[in-house]
Amino acid sequence: MMRTIYIVNINAKDSYSIQVWKRLQRQLLVPREDVFYTRSAEEVKDIVQAAFDKDPAQKLFVVGVGGDGTISGIINHCAGYENVTIGYFPAGSGNDFAKGYLWPVKPELGADVIRRIQQEQHKDRFYDTGYYVLNGYRKGYFVNSMGAGFDAKIAEKAGKSSIKKWLNKLSMGKLIYALLVLSEAMTYKPICIEAVINGEKKTFNGTWFITISNQPFYGGGMKISPSADPSDGLLDLTVVHSLSRWKLLLVFLSVFSGKHTLFKEVETYKVKEVYIITHAPVPVQADGEYIGILKDTGKLHIEVQHHNWKTAEMS
């Protein structure tokens, strides 16, 4: 018998997630003892661990209700467990995970998928993650993307922004990324980044950012890696370098359609493993959350973990 637990991030989209959860709960008639409320991705660990400890052999269905940080936190603590299936209901600002992994947005459709999994009337779909080690000690998984440079600076600013909270109340939270790109592009200083890509060392001068993606979307709908496939055993690396501030804005305008890859200053690679080294401190994000600084004496190591978590086939 499969046990289902629901992890609801009550802070997602400034508590809009509570409204979403109530709609979903009415569809599913969820018992109180199966619902766990959190305020951050960090709190997910204890909830998941307690469920594992209760019955390690039992099949477990973990459903996240929140934003990209919520589902990233869940997968970080469930990846690699064969008896765990992941579910999700989007209730955040960007919801890039839902776009990339084709999770339905409407409560009725989401409830139907969840019921199908609970009744084990579904086909398993296995996906990859990226595994990272930052500066030799900060470790974790990402399911959407990871980046160093300008995009991580945007993520850091967005996480602290009071404007984002106001925009969320108007259901316009995604606009914060566009606003921050416009403002930060005028002050951010590109740097030289070295990367060992599939064993080959490359140097990128004047680098704005380097992003490693597991699926096409990030930053609230930007199609940063149009050809990324989260189940192919590869990660998609995108480097934007050697261009002016004004041309960066042109690249930004084209990224929503995925046409930015046509610019000569945008390089893309398919990778299984990459090492990133910088000669100046640079901010780093994982799944849209700022996680720290890549030190000038440090290294960011990223490698794909093939098919180490599962959900239901959507089609």
What pLDDT is attached to residue 173? Answer: 52
What pLDDT is attached to residue 59? Answer: 92
Does residue 270 contact residue 236 with C-beta atoms inside 8 Å? yes
CA–CA dist 12, 228 (Å, integer)? 26
Residue 260 tokens, joined: 């930015």
Q: Which domains does the chain show, CATH number per domain?
A: 3-122 (3.40.50.10330), 130-307 (2.60.200.40)
Residue 47 tokens, joined: 């909830």
CA–CA dist 141, 232 (Å, integer)? 17
How many CB atoms within 10 Å of residue 131?
18
Mean pLDDT, the chain cut into blocks of 10 residues (315 residues total): 90 75 87 88 84 87 91 93 92 86 86 89 93 96 97 82 50 61 86 94 97 93 94 98 94 92 97 95 94 94 97 78
| Contacts with 187 (C-beta within 8 Å, 6 or more apart), sequence order | none
Burial 235-247 (b: 16+ CB within 10 A, else e): bbbbbbbebeeee
Does residue 188 contact residue 155 with C-beta atoms inside 8 Å? no
What pLDDT is attached to residue 167? Answer: 45
Helix (H) or strand (E) holding 248: helix 245-255
| Contacts with 55 (C-beta within 8 Å, 6 or more apart), sequence order | 3
What pLDDT is attached to residue 280? Answer: 93
What pLDDT is attached to residue 1? Answer: 76
φ, ψ dihedrals at 85, nearest 5°: -115, 140
Residue 52 tokens, joined: 């594992």
What pLDDT is attached to residue 99? Answer: 92
pTM of the model: 0.91
